[in-house]
């Protein structure tokens, strides 16, 4: 279970490898309070948007081999945040399960749809310009969401409807995913604590 004594759905996960050392604290029923220190400024900006729009309280500390590049740090943050999300959701009883949001960011328009199904997979239909955003390689947006989805047990579709600017596309993707996840993990009182599945398991 991901609940503490007060019924707040929360988790803390740490993971260390030869490439990264990452600690994540996540509260699903939060206010969007966030502290991010990954060593990659643009990635911190995206994680801050993710927390704020998901209304998740999020603390991430990451030390990675940035002398190589940002790939290991971004992917491993996705892994650890995904595991924290799965732990915080707990047994999934009473949740809405599905979420769907379409978010504009200037010329960019990104749709995210999710199912907290236990079957973690990313379906990515985004024409992302491959450029550097500060010290962040734009191709790592997909890598982050691939790792997050697999470890969170979330089926996540992210689709680009419009967009040209990589910053706008990336930011809209993080915001849309956060809003969809926020909707999916919300407690639906009409579920009366049941699992939202005809199979009786998720």
The whole-model pTM stands at 0.96
Cα–Cα nearest to 122, from 173, 77, 172, 163: 173
**Pure H helices in the chain:** 41-54, 71-89, 140-152, 166-185
Percent of the chain with pLDDT over 90: 94
C-alpha 110, offset from chain centre? 15
Q: Which two tokens stand for residue 63?
A: 């030390």
Question: What distance separates the 2 farthest-apart alpha carbons in the chain?
Answer: 51
Q: Choose which CATH entry (2.60.40.1220, 3.40.50.720, 3.30.230.40, 1.10.340.30) describes domain 10-191.
A: 3.30.230.40
CA 173 to chain centroid, in Å, comes to: 10
Q: What local confidence, expressed as pLDDT, does residue 31 receive? A: 97
9-18 pLDDT, tens digit per residue, is 999 999 999 9
| Residue-by-residue pLDDT tens, the chain, 202 positions | 466 545 789 999 999 999 999 999 999 999 999 999 999 999 999 999 999 999 999 999 999 999 999 999 999 999 999 999 999 999 999 999 999 999 999 999 999 999 999 999 999 999 999 999 999 999 999 999 999 999 999 999 999 999 999 999 999 999 999 999 999 999 999 999 999 999 988 8
Confidence (pLDDT) at 202? 87
Question: Beta 57-64 vs 34-37: how paired, if at all?
Answer: parallel
- Cα 56 to chain centroid distance, Å, stands at 10
Beta pairing class for 132-133 and 136-137: antiparallel
- pLDDT 10s digits, 70-118: 999 999 999 999 999 999 999 999 999 999 999 999 999 999 999 999 9
Domain boundaries, the chain: 10-191
- List the one residue out of 99, 104, 100 whose CA is nearest residue 162: 104
Backbone angles phi and psi of 160, in degrees to 5: -90, 125
| Terminal-residue alpha carbon distance, the chain | 14
């Amino acid at each position: 279970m991901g609940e503490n004594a007060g019924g707040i759905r929360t988790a803390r996960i740490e993971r260390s490898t030869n490439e990264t050392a990452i600690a994540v604290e996540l509260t699903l029923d939060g206010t969007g309070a966030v502290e991010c220190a990954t060593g990659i400024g643009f990635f911190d900006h995206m994680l801050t948007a993710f927390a704020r729009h998901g209304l998740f309280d999020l603390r991430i500390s990451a030390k990675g081999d940035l002398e190589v590049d940002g790939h290991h740090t971004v992917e491993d943050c996705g892994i650890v945040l995904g595991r924290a999300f799965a732990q915080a959701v707990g047994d999934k009883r009473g949740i809405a399960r599905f979420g769907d949001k379409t978010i504009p960011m200037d010329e960019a328009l990104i749709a995210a749809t999710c199912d907290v199904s236990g079957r973690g997979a990313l379906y990515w239909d985004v024409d992302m310009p491959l450029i550097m955003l500060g010290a962040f390689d734009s191709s790592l947006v997909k890598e982050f969401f691939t790792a997050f989805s697999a470890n969170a047990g979330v089926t996540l579709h992210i689709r680009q409807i419009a967009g040209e600017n990589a910053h706008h596309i990336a930011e809209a993707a993080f915001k849309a995913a956060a809003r969809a996840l926020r909707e999916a993990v919300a407690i639906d009182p009409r579920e009366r604590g049941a699992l939202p599945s005809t199979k009786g398991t998720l």
